[in-house]
Structures are given as structure tokens and as C-alpha cells.
């Protein structure tokens, strides 16, 4: 099993409203700089964008009533990276959770950088959603 780390952010917004606002792939560039640094364009079942390390292709789970926003990132290295993402109710607000996995090719330092990038992205999402 791979080591993992869950990054979480509480957002003072109803979880269903939050999910319905952010689930579309075209919304990700507004807050997820660690994933996308440009507009996304559809490429069949995937979306093409520019990430921090260059071009990436991303598959997203379909819209659903459960707050599941999993995505699969292919940076061209021949392996898709699975990124589970959930939005759940936290009383009147929402809890956003992203799980990161550390594979055998990723150093501890790089994994720590990935965690910090996701923390920044979720803080950006919080600021965007709560003004």
C-alpha cells in the first residue's frame, strides 16, 4: 500500500451548493493552480490543460449527488495519478478533502511539496467561495 495524506479545508458554505458551484472541470483553473494553470479544453473523455510541469490530461468523475470529485491526472509519463476528492457536509458548511498518494518514484521532499501545493489550492478555494 502507498503512503497517503489527506488535505482538508472547512468552507463556510452549504456542501451541496459548493459542489454544484465547483464540480465542472472548467472551474478548476480558478483555484487549483497545482493541477491547472490555464483554461481546460475537452479532449474526448479527458480535459487538456497546462500544469506546473507542462501539459496534462485529466479525467474527472461524472456529476453526482454525493460530492465525489475524483480525478485522474496524466502528465505524459505513462501513468495516471488517482486523486480522490470529496465534499461532505460539516454542519451548515462543507469539508473538502483531497487524498494524495506517494508512489515509489516520489521523494519525501516532493511529496511534501505536493501536500503544500494542495493546501494552498484549498485555501484559495475557500477564499474564492467565501469572499
- Give the residue extent of every domain in the chain: 4-130
Q: What pLDDT, on the 0 to 100 scale, is given for residue 19?
A: 98
DSSP at 109: H
DSSP labels, 32-63: -TTT-SS--EEETTEEEEEETTEEEEEEEPPP
Give me the tens of pLDDT residue by residue for the chain, a chain 131 residues long.
Answer: 999 999 999 999 999 999 999 999 999 999 998 777 788 899 999 999 887 777 889 999 999 999 999 999 987 777 889 999 999 999 999 999 999 999 888 889 999 999 999 999 999 999 999 98
CATH number for 4-130 (one of 3.40.50.720, 3.30.70.141, 3.30.530.20, 3.40.1360.10): it is 3.30.530.20
Rounded distance between C-alpha atoms, residue 21 and residue 58, angstroms: 19
Q: What pLDDT, on the 0 to 100 scale, is given for residue 79?
A: 82
What residues have CB less than 8 Å from 63, skipping those under 6 apart? 23
Q: Is the Cα dihedral 96, 127, 117, 80 positive or negative?
A: positive
48, 36 contact by CB (below 8 A): no
Sheet hosting strand 54-60, strand order edge to edge = 41-43, 46-51, 54-60, 71-74, 80-83
Q: What is the CA radius of gyration of the chain?
A: 14
Amino acid at each position: 500500500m502507498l503512503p497517503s495524506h489527506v488535505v482538508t479545508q472547512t468552507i463556510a458554505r452549504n456542501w451541496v451548493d459548493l459542489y454544484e458551484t465547483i464540480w465542472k472541470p472548467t472551474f478548476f483553473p480558478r483555484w487549483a493552480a497545482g493541477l491547472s494553470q490555464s483554461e481546460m479544453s475537452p479532449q474526448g473523455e479527458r480535459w487538456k490543460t497546462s500544469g506546473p510541469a507542462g501539459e496534462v490530461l485529466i479525467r474527472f468523475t461524472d456529476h453526482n449527488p454525493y460530492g465525489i470529485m475524483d480525478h485522474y491526472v496524466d502528465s505524459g509519463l505513462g501513468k495516471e495519478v488517482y486523486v480522490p476528492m470529496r465534499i461532505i457536509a460539516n454542519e451548515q458548511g462543507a469539508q473538502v478533502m483531497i487524498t494524495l498518494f506517494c508512489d515509489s518514484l516520489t521523494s519525501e521532499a516532493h511529496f511534501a511539496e505536493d501536500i503544500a501545493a494542495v493546501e494552498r489550492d484549498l485555501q484559495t478555494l475557500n477564499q474564492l467561495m467565501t469572499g
